[in-house]
Amino acid sequence: MIIKSIKLINFRNHQNYYLECKENTSLILGENGCGKTSVLEAIYIITRGKSFRAVDSEILKRGTDYYRIEIEYNNGEKNIATFDGKNKTFIILDKKTRRLPKKNKYPVVLFLPSDLNLISHSPSRRRDYFDKIFSQLDEQYNQHLLKYEKTLKQRNELLKNEAPYNNLFSWDLLLSKYGTSLFNYRKTFIQEINTKLTKTYHSIAKNDDEVSIKYVSEASECSESDYLKKLEENYKKDCILGHTTFGVHHDDYLFFFNQSLANGSASRGETRSIILALKFIEGNLLYEKLHLKPLILLDDVFSELDETRRKCLIKNFQDNQVIITSVENITNY
């Protein structure tokens, strides 16, 4: 699916914005703060169903009571997303729906400047990063993640109110079910990424260094019954602290560079090559599993990369539709 154009009304600082896209690479040029990232955010909403950085009420242009996103594709199809201050609505083939249907979601590889710091970021940032990838690779992962988060929130509310364990048991059953499911998905996906990571890194860095990701989880190899038992054992401590201390919501992904933690052993350039490799693998996995060439959204990352890595980035995604934001003209690439 190739985007032909995008139109925004009352979206962040855009009162009325129109962009005509090219089939291969489109450049959105402008100074920082002019709303370039907002255009990518709007595209992400209408292709994935929600923003990658905010809730709808924060996106609405100040002083207005609605926003509207309209995308036209090369086949003539138009998809629309609107928010009236309370509810978001998608209009797909003239049919209104509160959520973007699964069949109308399109794979996206989003590259933000903050991604280049993923290795040194917090565990929660790394979990969020990989959750977004895995949710695109498998819709069931996305559903189990949403159910896990909803169940965890409910359990934590009960803990804050010092509810007896009997009141938590049904929630613990669900937490155990979805927690073990998420662990198994994450373990499988990381294993698959690791089979490709070093080779992909070599294609960028042109050396013999080894790169890997270690998936770290408290729930490692837990059965549902093991998971449930651990939640019960931690009940008293959890009541005192007011939150659930055991579970896959504490998982982390550690990057290793030549058998040492990359955070500290890999140079700035090596770190950027690792993240580039991860993005390339993300794009390849989405294509392999969904049989669709993902849309590539690059948000001002060229300013963070040297010339060699810039060329490598463009070359890798030359068969995809790419939309780039930048403060400098990069037409030479």
pLDDT of residue 224: 97
Report CA Rg, the chain. 21
List the beta bridge partners of residue 322: 25, 296
Contact present, 41 and 1 (Cβ < 8 Å): no
Which candidate, 230, 232, 134, places its Cα nearest to that of 183? Answer: 134
Query: In this predicted structure, what is the pLDDT of residue 282?
Result: 98
Give the model's pLDDT for residue 330. 75
Q: Which two three-digit tokens encode residue 203?
A: 């294609």
Q: Which CATH number fits domain 3-106+294-326: 3.40.50.300, 3.40.50.10090, 3.10.20.600, 2.30.30.100?
A: 3.40.50.300
Q: What percent of the chain has pLDDT over 70?
A: 99
Stretches in the chain below the pLDDT threshold 50: none
Q: What is the pLDDT of residue 153?
A: 98
DSSP state, residue 60 = B
Six-digit token string for 178 = 């979805």
Look-up of token digits 């402008």: 30
Q: Which helix (H) or strand (E) holds 278?
A: helix 268-290
Show Cβ contacts of residue 180 under 8 Å, excluding neighbours closer than 6 positions.
219, 222, 223, 224, 227
CB-based contacts of 299, cutoff 8 Å, min separation 6 = 36, 37, 40, 110, 111, 112, 113, 325
Ranges of each domain in the chain: 3-106+294-326, 116-283
CA distance 34 to 161: 46
CATH 1.20.1050.90 fits 116-283, yes or no: yes
